[in-house]
Amino acid sequence: MSAAIPVPARQRTASVSASEPPSSIPIPANTRGVPQSSFGAQSPGAAGTSPRTFSTGFSTSPSAGPLRTGSIGSAFHGIARQLTAFLPPNYTLAEEPEDQEKRQGKTKILLLENINLDAAQFLKNQGYEVEHVTKAYSEEELISKLPNYHAIGIRSKTKITQKVIDANPQLRVIGCFCIGTNQVDLDYAAKRGIAVFNSPYANSRSVAELVISEIIALSRQYVDRTHEMRAGIWNKLSKNCWEVRGKTLGIVGYGHIGSQLSVLAEAFGMTVIYYDVIPIMPLGTARQVENLSDLLSRADFVTLHVPEIPDTIGMMGEAQFAQMKVGSFFINNARGRVVDLPALATALESKHLAGAAVDVFPKEPGANGPGFNETLGDFIPRLRNVSNLILTPHIGGSTEEAQRAIGSEVSTALARYLNYGTSLGAVNFPEVDLRAITTADERHIRVCHVHRNEPGVLKVINNILADHNIEKQYSDSKGEIAYLMADISGVGEEEVVGIYNAIKNTRANILTRLLCE
């Protein structure tokens, strides 16, 4: 969140749309008259005005430096780091010059895998310190480098494992700038109070268009013809080259990508059948089949659009390829582990399949450049040597339009969660939101409490907040995890630490944050 700009009282409004939150959440006034000397010694200068956050790791957001105990009164010994989050913007603690940057430091976000630069700029404009890296990080690199950051943005290659999460207790949120989230241990992240966001629909059109182009390319064998021309060979032929009009496309997974692809394919004159585990109303004249075997035996082209879950891993193997029509084509732009690639290589080598297109692999290089070789699997050289096979480096969603849309969606979700506690769109977390605190709410704080889903938690929390007016409150649960948001008013600065500690020390606590400016 950017630094707050003071607004004259006559210009303040009492209501703000939740879809357009205010630029700041005001600091509660010191309503009980506690002298400033109780909070810490004064020093010249002005403190930063970017949003601050308490957390169970005794860190503040954007500040996350170590605790300072030498410049505060005995009543608040050992907790000055949190308390500074609630001091007025013109009030600072006496600190050494080298500590001032930590005192006013920003939330740090690490973006890996060449995430769209517009997303990085948006997060910078929100007041965060952003590092943009073009490659993926290994588990060892994440364990080494991620402790400097409070949020991370990844695509499909970086793996956030339980080991990585345990090594980074300060991590608050993960943004998957892609459709899939199988690269993150979602359950364990939730148990540690880490919300995970993704962009499930923004690149649907890009993937659908890629499939259409692959269908035509495989039908006309023009990838092979291009390779021959580059080698100086003129090989004009029409044998086994087909129009796509009148052919049958079988779509496995009729979600956002599959349904868009269905419409595009019908525009080319194709007949569309699809298989999905649930009944779905078709678009156009497409028809749903009862089982996968039926689809495989009828389709001239089979394309996968399924997530990587236990039920789909290895769903296409030797038996399934044998069920496909002789001379048919296979396309996978979904996830690498849903297909047995050695079995696909065998089906292509035997000419049972006339061609295939593969955009995703069980293991993929972490950066651009050399590396697509047998180290990723002994089937890679076999695939590289078969004819009429299109191999692409996981580019299904790699268009300018898709990456801008994904960057906008996920970066906005990260900022809303960090700034306001909003978890709408989280894939592993209860989805909770409250309307924004407005510039007129000068004595409000927002409680964001992630806890185990156990009986009696709300009673305990409401007892803690009983001395204050609960302006609005909402809680939800998802499996073993529950999330409570509450805005309370009439809170003095001298009370904040007590509220935080009381909630943090409850039996079911996973993560507690208090948000104000």
* Structure tokens belonging to residue 98: 């080298």
* Structure tokens belonging to residue 421: 């506690």
For residue 358, the cross-strand partners are 332, 391
- The answer to whether the beta carbons of residues 179 and 396 sit under 8 Å apart is no
- The answer to whether the beta carbons of residues 389 and 348 sit under 8 Å apart is yes
Which residues fall within 8 angstroms of residue 261, CB to CB, at 6 or more apart? 207, 208, 211, 212, 249, 251, 303, 305
Please state, in angstroms and as integers, the Cα–Cα distance from residue 197 to each residue in 89, 273, 409, following that order: 32, 32, 9
Active site residue 364: yes
* Structure tokens belonging to residue 260: 């868009």
Q: Which amino acid is at 319?
A: A
CA distance 413 to 107: 15
Q: Provide the H-helix boundaries in 274-314.
A: 292-298
Active site residue 394: yes
For residue 302, the cross-strand partners are 250, 330
* Structure tokens belonging to residue 360: 């995703």
- The answer to whether the beta carbons of residues 180 and 204 sit under 8 Å apart is no
Q: Which amino acid is at 124?
A: K
Q: Which of 141, 266, 364, 431 is catalytic?
A: 364
Q: Which of 132, 335, 416, 451 is catalytic?
A: 335
Beta strands 509-516 and 52-53, pairing class: antiparallel
For 508, counting Cβ atoms within 10 Å of its Cβ (0-12 exposed, 13-18 middle, 19+ buried), the class is middle
3-state secondary structure of 413: helix
Q: At what angle do helices 256-267 and 204-220 cross, to 10 degrees?
A: 50
For residue 473, the cross-strand partners are 486
Q: How far apart are the first and last CA of the chain?
A: 10
Closest CA to 224 of 352, 385, 351: 385
Q: Which of 132, 150, 155, 394 is catalytic?
A: 394
Closest CA to 464 of 432, 416, 502: 502
* Structure tokens belonging to residue 191: 């148990």
> 205: how many CB neighbours lie within 10 A of its CB?
19
Please state, in angstroms and as integers, the Cα–Cα distance from residue 475 to each residue in 433, 435, 447, 480, following that order: 9, 14, 11, 14
Residue at token pair 């035996």:
297
Which active-site residues does the annotation give? 335, 364, 394
